[in-house]
Amino acid sequence: MLAIVSLVQGKRSQMRCRKCGEKAVINMRQHKLALCTAHFLDWVPEQVEHAIRRYDMFTHHDRLLVAVSGGKDSLSLWDILQRLGYSADGLYIGLGIDGGVSYSVNSFEYARSFAQEHDLKLHVVDIPAEYGESIQAIAMRTHRGHYKPCSVCGLTKRHAMNRIARQYNYSVLLTGHNLDDEAAILFGNTINWLGPYLIHQSPVLEADKPGLVRKVKPLCRMYEREMAAYALLRGISYIHDECPFAKDSTSIYHKELLNKLESDRPGAKLNFYLSFLRARRDGLFSSSIDDQAEFLHACPECGQPTSAPGLCAFCRMFVQVEDRPDSGQLMDHDHTQLEK
Ligand code: Q46
Ligand code: ZN
Ligand code: ZN
């Protein structure tokens, strides 16, 4: 409970729930809203439902697949979906990451336990078992990412998510990206003026090309701090260790910068992201630079859609031999190169 108390900012002892007057457990300065445990646990699903409807993400008739990593965001999202009455299955992708903390082994255990406790279906893709190599080994062999396997990891996860969603006829794939993730991605894309990535950053990535599954981010308006409080207050067990390769990453540095801004100006992160979505909706980012995404064809090896000539970027990793220059700059079909 100490961790929750520390989430309350400002005049801690006097903070009262705006809805019932009981002692508040969290103060969200960005919303000028303090809430007690019960009202906070009601408020979070209401916010998520609002985002689902606001961005037309899915309905109760869709077949939903949630990508779960064993972390607080994706497990909380799965929990919220149950509470909102959506039925959703899970997908865990084992990457074979150890990093001295048995990261993949432990994160799988949290995802598996959650599914078991709630009697939910969990698909598991074990990359080392299926492809014979961990993502670290692939990164070393192909020289993608200069000993940091994030480029290989992102490509592998996107490939596996789309493959399983298609194979089992899910209509929507959900990820647990929260507002802090989205704001950090947006910040990175903006300071580098990565036009194609800006065009495609959205709470919803439409399945607008054959072979692509619709992807949505129902937590895109939820602060990371709110999701941490939700997981703790709901008693959700999740992996607290970050992936060992997340350390010193650019996206964490961008998150820290945005948190400094947020602490001086509560709501700055949300405003940055929502203003971007409004500008994007109003056509500020022209689609004329989006030509690369127009010509998708089925990869001859795996059948997944790709804009690369010949094999898709994922399959190319397995025919790639030593000293090939880094091909990580090739754009994947969903333009999420900078995402986690
Ligand atoms: S899991 Fe994969 Fe992240 Fe680890 S290897 Fe990098 S991209 S940091 S979200
Ligand atoms: Zn209350
Ligand atoms: Zn392929």
What is the rounded CA–CA span in Å between residue 182 and residue 339? 8
Residue bearing the CA closest to ligand 1, atom 8: 246
* Ligand closest in space to the Cα of 71: 1
The whole-angstrom distance between residue 333's C-alpha and the CA centroid of its chain comes to 17
Which residues are CB-contacts of 303 (< 8 A; sequence separation ≥ 6)?
Answer: 211
φ/ψ of residue 28, rounded to 5:
-105, 95
* Ligand closest in space to the Cα of 94: 1
What is the rounded CA–CA span in Å between residue 329 and residue 10? 45
Residue bearing the CA closest to ligand 1, atom 7: 150
Residue bearing the CA closest to ligand 1, atom 5: 150
Beta bridge partners, 16, equal 23
How much is the pTM? 0.89
Q: How many CA atoms lie within 13 A of 313 on its CB side?
A: 26
Alpha-carbon dihedral sign for residues 193, 195, 196, 197: positive
What is the rounded CA–CA span in Å between residue 340 and residue 337? 8
DSSP helix/strand/coil, 23? strand
Pocket of ligand 1 (CB under 6 A): 149-150, 153-154, 243, 245-246, 340
| 306 CA from centroid of ligand 3 (Å) | 8
Integer CA distances (angstroms), 55 to 9, 48, 89, 281, 312, in order? 31, 11, 21, 11, 30
10 Å Cβ neighbour count for 283?
8
Beta bridge partners, 124, equal 92
pLDDT tens digits in sequence order for the chain, 340 residues long? 445 445 555 555 689 999 999 999 999 999 999 999 999 999 999 999 999 999 999 999 999 999 999 999 999 999 999 999 999 999 999 999 998 899 999 999 999 999 999 999 999 999 999 999 999 899 888 877 767 899 999 999 999 999 999 999 999 999 999 999 999 999 999 999 998 889 889 999 998 888 899 999 999 999 999 999 999 999 999 999 999 999 888 999 999 999 999 999 999 999 999 999 999 999 887 665 555 455 788 999 999 999 888 899 999 988 864 444 443 333 333 333 333 3
| 11 CA from centroid of ligand 2 (Å) | 17
C-alpha closest to that of 95 among 130, 66, 140: 130
| 36 CA from centroid of ligand 2 (Å) | 4
* DSSP classification of residue 8: -
